[in-house]
Amino acid sequence: GFGRRIKLNTCFYDDNCAYLQKAIDSEQNYNFVDELENKLSSYLGGRAVLTTNTGTGSMHMAIKLAASIAYGSNDYKNKRVFCSDLCPIEQAMPILYEGMIPTFIDSGYTDFNIDPESLNKAFELYSDTKIVIINHLYGFPGNVFLIKKICEEHGAILIENASEAFGARVDGKAVGTIGDIGVFDFGKGKIISADSGGAIAAGDKANIEIVRSLADMSKEKLPWNHHNCIGYDYRMSNITAAVISSQLPHIDEVISGKRHIFERYRDNLNEDLIYLNNSDENIEPNYWRPMILCDSSINAKEKRSENGYSYEDIHGTSSPMEIIDALDAFGADAAPLYMPMSMQPLFKSYELISLEGKILYLEPYNTETCLFSSEVSRDASRRGLCLPSDMTMTEEEQFQIIEIVNACFSGQSIDRDTTETVMMACGM
């Protein structure tokens, strides 16, 4: 083992005590929230910014803002929202908060974000859709300029969820500033992490002011509490803003550290394993979570159910849970890929649109239906996993992790001291 836990994501933490002291000192009464909004605004090319207490809160506000712009009123119940299929629940759940209809869009194999072809297909089927939400999966940007163009052709508003990709760029432009509305997250494990926190950015300052009021209980600007409409308690705390402010100056260091971790995996893992992210020259990921895909033959090998999972030990191939268990036995955290939204029982009655057309819910653990589905998001989720990307991990520790993963996959022999345990952990 490593003698300590190697985490999926631990980022650079500066000594933020001075910042915290300043945030809670009632005499200084220092306003980190305003300061952070200004800093984020300049980092995001001058976009207007509102900070919030969670990324989910920001996503909720972004959907409300997009809907009020698209429909010019609060009357948008049962209107459709296109949403990436491969994303965490925090992106999709707020669509339901607003009584709108999510329609999920399949991923493409280049970047596992929304596939532009499938999005075109979705607009052919539902041409009056006015809101599209994309996610830059695990910090690796999608084809956002093309997606933006498709949205413009259909008069739809693009919400760019940059929660996992803060600091990533496309054509030199920060992700979250290419779509109409950008959403950011500074929660646990993110590249800038204050335990919880989010932000929303938009080109039009007036729009952000509308959201600022909504996220502050719709309190009117009067000395007393006067409320005309529904509001939400979504503002960021001064302490959270202080912690984020202490980390923000280190963003380049963090991304460069993450890039080295990613490159070490890329250069040393069995070449059939690593998912090579979109390597177009114009893409600069933040490398938040390196992801690998196992052989597609694992379908027969690994079975998941509501009660857990099992896998057979077959040489020359491996499955996500087998690798995750092997790493766990050594004291390192890895994680399965997101289970797509279209497989969540919660979204049973909503469609997924892929190149094949539209399909309704597939039971997530029904191997027969799942095995023969051709959707990219489902394929990726069955055989993908995220590797440890802990910034405190040493090069030596990462090479041990690489050895464990390679051993699981190929059954090849590795360093004598670790071989036995690896073989055991891999069920060999």
Ligand X SMILES: *Cc1c(COP(=O)(O)O)cnc(C)c1O
Nearer to ligand X, 55 or 257 (CB): 55
Nearer to ligand X, 185 or 379 (CB): 185
| Mask for 162-181, x = binds ligand X (CB under 6 A) | -xx-----------------
Nearer to ligand X, 108 or 187 (CB): 187
User: Which residues sit opposite 114 in a β-bridge?
Assistant: 107
Q: How far is the CB of 197 from ligand X (least distance, A)?
A: 8
Nearer to ligand X, 95 or 273 (CB): 95
Nearer to ligand X, 56 or 118 (CB): 56
CA atoms within 13 A on the CB side of 189: 13
Nearer to ligand X, 275 or 409 (CB): 275
Nearer to ligand X, 107 or 318 (CB): 107
The footprint of ligand X on residues 186-205 (CB under 6 A) is 187, 196
Q: What SS3 class is residue 202?
A: strand
7, 327 Cβ separation under 8 angstroms: no
Q: How far is the CB of 173 from ligand X (least distance, A)?
A: 19
User: Which residues sit opposite 107 in a β-bridge?
Assistant: 114
The footprint of ligand X on residues 63-122 (CB under 6 A) is 87-88, 90-91
The footprint of ligand X on residues 119-148 (CB under 6 A) is 135
Task: Determine the residue with CB nearest ligand X.
Answer: 55
Among 37, 106, 160, 185, binds ligand X (CB under 6 A): 185
Q: Are strands 101-105 and 80-84 parallel, antiparallel or unpaired?
A: parallel
Distance in angstroms (rounded) separating the CA atoms of residues 276 and 256: 17
Q: What SS3 class is residue 31?
A: coil
Burial status of residue 359 (CB atoms within 10 A of its CB: 0-12, 13-18, 19 or more) = middle
The footprint of ligand X on residues 297-336 (CB under 6 A) is none
Give the range of 8-16, 55-63, 306-314, 339-347 binding ligand X by CB under 6 A: 55-63
Q: How far is the CB of 377 from ligand X (least distance, A)?
A: 14
Q: Are strands 308-311 and 302-305 parallel, antiparallel or unpaired?
A: antiparallel
253, 225 Cβ separation under 8 angstroms: no
Other CB atoms closer than 10 Å to residue 330's CB: what's the count?
Answer: 18
33, 52 Cβ separation under 8 angstroms: no
Distance in angstroms (rounded) separating the CA atoms of residues 342 and 102: 10
Among 113, 161, 317, 381, binds ligand X (CB under 6 A): 161
Residue 364: partners with Cβ closer than 8 Å, 6 or more residues away:
304, 339, 343, 344, 345, 370
Q: Which positions touch ligand X (CB under 6 A)?
A: 54-56, 59, 87-88, 90-91, 135, 161, 163-164, 185, 187, 196
